[in-house]
Amino acid sequence: MQTEQELKDIVRQKYSEIALQDKETNEASCCGSTCRSTEVYNIMNDDYTELNGYNPDADLGLGCGLPTQFAKIKKGDTVIDLGSGAGNDCFIARAEVGEGGKIIGIDFTPAMIDKARTNAEKLGYKNVEFRQGDIENMPVTANTADVIVSNCVLNLVPNKDAVIKDIYRVLKPGGHFSISDVVLKGNLPKALQEAAEMYAGCVAGAIQKDVYLELIQTNGFTKITLQKEKAIVIPDDILSNYLNAEELQQFKAGNTGIFSVTVYAEKPAEAKKACCGPECCN
């Protein structure tokens, strides 16, 4: 059984490599991992190209949803993107917040931070910054963000509870998040659970959908809403790297489902003080 640090090292190594790959390579793989499929189609990624702020240099094809589309971002908001990669979601969020808003991207892979900063500099964006750090311990002060977004990242973090707790800390009272992620219904075969490539590919690190939603609720969030859900089909030529023919047949005939979900939730606003007399009830 690999430790949390070993799993994080695997992800950091893989995503350092991914930062140097082109979008077509990443889209034909499991979230950019090297278990590339010969069936060339997007396994998880949604199409960003029609969204305002889209920049092809920042799109590595690593997402599993369009969280910015559902995030209810307003002009002037401060938005944080967890696992910001080359900056794709940050630049789209910037188109929503305008010049008066602020975007902070957080990623723990130095190569991704370098790529994102280069992209922002080319675009001349002054209100978009990228900080290197872990998303379960963000380099951000408490009560900073109006909105937090993330795209296919929490499944890569071993301690998901810590991430959700830190999201709560960093959001302003009354703030909210919209996060796209990979979840499971049923149990993956042991070979997939233990495969480092499938962990870096966003599948082996996914948890049960019910557990995922329960973590959000138990950490104090309200108005939890499933904004989108879609099934993810991993091609046979990827699965066959880890499963023999009999195991592959059993997996496909079983009840295990892999899904991309986009989840919305709010941090409660601070409770109003009770009225103490006529002078404060006017």
- The pLDDT tens digits of the residues spanning 25-82 come to 544 444 444 454 443 234 556 677 778 887 878 777 777 788 999 999 999 999 999 9
Does residue 96 form part of some domain? Answer: yes
What's the domain count of the chain? 1
Which residues, at least 6 apart from 50, have a Cβ–Cβ distance to it below 8 Å?
none
Does residue 273 form part of some domain? Answer: no
Does residue 73 form part of some domain? Answer: yes
**How far are the Cα atoms of 64, 147, 159 from residue 202, in angstroms, in the given order?**
9, 24, 14
Which residues, at least 6 apart from 143, have a Cβ–Cβ distance to it below 8 Å?
169, 170, 171, 172, 173
106-134 residues labelled b (16+ CB within 10 A) or e (exposed): bbbbebbbebbbebbeebebeebebeeeb
Does residue 267 form part of some domain? Answer: no
* This prediction's pTM: 0.83
Residue 145's CATH number: 3.40.50.150
- The pLDDT tens digits of the residues spanning 197-226 come to 565 556 767 889 999 999 999 999 999 999
Does residue 278 form part of some domain? Answer: no
Does residue 276 form part of some domain? Answer: no
Does residue 36 form part of some domain? Answer: yes
- Domain of 163, in residue numbers: 6-261
Specify the pLDDT at position 41: 30
- The pLDDT tens digits of the residues spanning 223-247 come to 999 999 998 888 888 888 888 899 8
More confident of the two residues 57 and 83: 83
Does residue 277 form part of some domain? Answer: no
